[in-house]
Amino acid sequence: MTGLTIGKLARQADIGIETVRFYERRGLIEDPPRRQSGYRQYPEDTIDRLRFIRRAKELGFSLDEIRELLLLRSHPAQNRESVRAKVRDKIEDIDRRIDDLARMRRALSSLADVCEHGEETEPCPILVAMSRGFDEDVR
């Protein structure tokens, strides 16, 4: 039986051993066969699968989304439009998050300005705004 130990697999996929085990528990990679000694032997193609998972995570996909992409990956020609749709959905999600982050940045900048130019004897406007809620124009 040929294959890779978990340590070699993790090094070649550039991830940690615990990450390999985590992906096994989550069903993203199959449980490997075991040698007579009890050591697990991962097939070589597991490296590619783990690299795919890592890259998809770097692009912002959740593990559930990655599981779906892995299923679609098994029939790439048939599932091209489905993959494209998932990528478009991810782009929309990223755009929403960028908008949310920009809104949060504007609100925090306004709060920082108010705090910097406010009276030292008054309660901290940042903490007050967080207690009661605030909009982007806190002045």
Q: Which residues on adjacent β-strands are paired with residue 34?
A: 40
d(CA 14, CA 124): 46
What's the number of CA atoms in the CB half-sphere (13 Å) around residue 36? 1
Query: pTM for the whole thing?
Result: 0.77
CATH 3.40.50.620 fits 1-59, yes or no: no
Q: CA-based angle 105:122:137, to the nearest 5?
A: 30
- Give residue limits of the domains in the chain: 1-59
The larger pLDDT score, comparing residue 126 to residue 29, is at: 29
Determine what percent of the chain is predicted with pLDDT higher than 90. 58
How much is the mean pLDDT over the chain? 88
